[in-house]
Structure 1
Amino acid sequence: MLVVRRLLGILFSVIAVVALVVLAVLASQRLSVRPRTDDAFLQADLVHMAPDVSGRIVILAVHDNELVHAGELLFEIDPEPYRLRVAQAAAEVRGLEGKLGVTSDQVASQTSKAQAANTGIGTAKAQLDLASSTLARLQPLLARGFVTAQQVDQARTARKSAQLSLEQARQQAEEARKGISSIKPAEQDLAAAQASLSLAERDLRLTAVRAPCDGRITGLDIAAGEFADAGKPLFTIIDTEHWWAVGNFRETDMSGLQPGQHALVYVLAAPGAALAGTVESLGWGVSPDEGAQFEGLPRVPRSLNWVRIAQRFPVRVRLDTPPANLMRIGASAAIVIER
């Protein structure tokens, strides 16, 4: 009877060991077919809200943890200084427009005078040609006694006078041409003033800061009356339109993973609900050691530093239609890849 009991004990032990081995093999096969990790968390894009202009906050239209929609007013910077800058820039534009008009009239008048001076050159040349022709006709007649010496002298004087008139007309035309002003400097000043006006109008528009996307306010600890510096974030918006689960998978599982694979995500807050997702990207580098400095690479510490274990790489899974009540950045999750 004792021998039988010993045999039964040995048989049960062998069966238990075989069952454990079989279960281990099945679990290993299942993991190879459906890789999974419990080292995962939820992630969403963040928008750090900073104003483009500096000034005192006169309206703060949101509260911490509030849900906002794209285009909604978040806060407003005191617009009064920027309105005054717009008015100042607009007045400068109007002044330069008037100056350009006056300059244009002056240039038109100067151009008209230059054209008149050019016409005077033509008239003087015609008079010189006539005087020269008269003198050439009278000189041969003097020897034959058909004209007097006085008539020839008068013709010679008329030609000399016509030559002087032509020279004066040419000088006047040259002075008139040089006296024509250019409107280009006035046009350039006006263009610069118009650009300054556009910038002032842009700054005025940017005093009202609106939500760039649907999201939830977080990290808000200011009130109306706070002075806001341009480019300095005041709070953060969590973009609730898109959510991801980021899980660290063993390097032995990475060879079978690729973007586009279906995945199931389980959030610790509701472990019974499987959230559908799609593998979006695979991590291609982590810091190989906790003590090493690798800028820009995620750091994934190894939990057992006395045993050489497989490295883990982050895998990014985009959630298809995540329930809003479960979505929190950093929430614990588990990911199962469906191959």
Structure 2
Amino acid sequence: MPETTADEDDPKTAQRAGTTDHADPLPLVPRRGRGAKIVRLAATGVILLLAFGAAAYVWEFYVAAPWTRDGTVRVQVANIAPQVAGQIVEVRVHDNQNVRKGDVLYVIDPVDFEVSVTSADAEVKNREADLQVKNAQSARRQALTTVSTSVEEKQQYAGQAKIAQAALESAQAQLRQAKINLERTQVKSTVNGRVTNLLMRVGDYARTGTSNISVVDTDSYWIDGYFEETKMPNIHVGDRADVKLMGFDPRLTGTVASITLGIATANAAASTQGLPDVNPVYTWVRLAQRVPVRIHIDHVPPEIPLIAGMTATVVVNGGRAPAPSWFMDLRARVSALTHATTAPTIEADRR
């Protein structure tokens, strides 16, 4: 019989030997797992491409394209002053009322002016009668051929007729002026717009040439965008502009109408001795100047009420497509955050 050892008879030893000689092969990676890995890689690539595209888009509109969040809605205001003086007897409008050009705003007491019209009309009639008499006398003298009527007498009567004609024309001019002054007692709006900050009341005294009522000209709204001087090479008259007002989602569209050719500088002021007053500045802090650009408003959504002084974000697009709303919002928020974090530091450096 063959010899056996204790190790061979030991079941644990045999089990370890069998395990060493007959090891199971490694499991294969299923094909389904490989497909999921490829999908993940493809998705990562697509996301990277979109990220690069978005970065290029943001660079174009945030850095290259001229834009500013320092925009303001502007409007012209008609400060209306009476052309005649007198006590106000009637106010026909109230504060914030819409008016049309030619509407009567208030009335000045017309009694004195009506008297002036009556007096001037009577003077015209008197001068007409005098002219008729002078013309008749001159005609009779001119018709006489006797020696008793000299040439000097004829010229004298002809001159009197001309003087009477001149007096009549002067009286007619005074009558016309009196009628105009009477019409001016009804002070009218010179523009289409809205009455603002109305403080007058019946009984106030209106003085000639002194403004006492203001009307916002609703046909004159425009946008002033204050662009950094580094953005000015890409801004031209006629370029398209997109405007977003703070607090309103719809956007306004406009066109660059004009560019200011000068801004004030503190160094231009003279000191008490007439020398230039140059302010000391830190050479390492150089802030770009802001240049006003006037934007003509082409379209206003009906749900947006334009109010002078509103804050606006302005993007000059030139021939490019308009920037999306979400991007203009993001741009304004990033700029506001940047300004909020850097302004205290700059102010501290200045001090």
Q: TM-score, normalised by structure 2?
A: 0.66
Name the counterpart of 1:88: 119
2:141–2:149: 8 Å Cα contact kept in structure 1?
A: no
Instruction: State how far apart, in whole Å, the 2-side matches of 1:179 and 1:28 are.
Output: 92
Partner of 1:283 in structure 2?
260
**209, 219, 237: which is aligned to 2:197?**
219
2: CA distance between counterparts of 1:72 and 1:312? Answer: 40
Residue 41 of structure 1 contacts residue 245 of structure 1 at CA under 8 Å; is this kept in 2?
yes
- Equivalent positions of 1:227-266 (< 5 A) are 227-266=205-244
- Separation (CA, whole Å) in 2 of partners of 1:98 and 1:324: 66
Alpha-carbon displacement from aligned partner over 1:269-289 (angstroms, at most 9, x marks no partner):
31x221111111111110123
Cα drift, residue 94 of structure 1 = 0.3
TM value normalised by structure 1: 0.69
- For the structure 1 residues 179 and 71, does the alpha-carbon distance in structure 2 shift closer, same or farther, using more than 3 Å as the test? closer
Q: Alpha carbons of 1:254 and 1:79: their partners in 2 closer, same or farther (altered >3 Å)?
A: same
What is the distance in 2 between the residues matched to 1:227 and 1:23? 65
Q: CA deviation at 1:175?
A: 6.8
Q: Is the 8 A contact 1:32 1:253 kept in 2?
A: no
Counterpart code for 2:260: G
What does the per-residue CA deviation read over 1:4-36, in whole Å, with 9 as the maximum and x for residues that have no partner? xxxxxxxxxxxxxxxx99998864542354211
Superposed CA deviations along residues 46-85 of structure 1, whole A, max 9, x for unmatched, are: 1101111111111111111211122221111111111110
Match of 2:306 in 1: 327
* 1:218-249 Cα distance to aligned partner (Å, 9 max, x none): 12111111110111111211111231111110
Q: Which of 168, 175, 184 matches 2:162?
A: 184
Structure 2: where are the runs of 5+ without partners? 1-50, 271-281, 319-351
Whole-angstrom CA distance in 1 between matches of 2:204 and 2:283: 49
CA distance in structure 2 between the partners assigned to 1:241 and 1:216 by the alignment: 11
CA drift of 1:212 comes to 2.0
Shift of 1:332: 1.0
Tell me the CA shift for residue 201 of structure 1: 0.9
- Matched position secondary structure for 1:99: helix
Structure 1 unaligned segments of length 5 or more: list them.
1-19, 118-168, 294-303
Which residue matches 1:108? 139
Q: 1:65 and 2:96 equivalent?
A: yes
CA distance in structure 1 between the partners assigned to 2:259 and 2:172 by the alignment: 50
Identity %: 32
Question: Is 2:241 aligned against 1:210?
Answer: no
C-alpha separation between the residues in 1 aligned to 2:143 and 2:67? 89
- Separation in 2, partners of 1:94, 1:221: 44
RCO comparison, higher one (Cα < 8 Å, 6+):
1
CA positional deviation for 1:101: 0.6
Number of residue pairs the alignment of both structures matches: 255
Alignment partner of 1:326: what SS? coil
Check conservation: 1:269, 1:326, Cα contact below 8 A: no
- Equivalent positions of 1:140-179 (< 5 A) are 169=147, 173=150, 177=154
Structure-2 residue corresponding to 1:78: 109
RMSD, aligned CA = 2.7
- Which runs of at least 4 in structure 1 moved beyond 4 Å after TM superposition? 20-28, 171-179
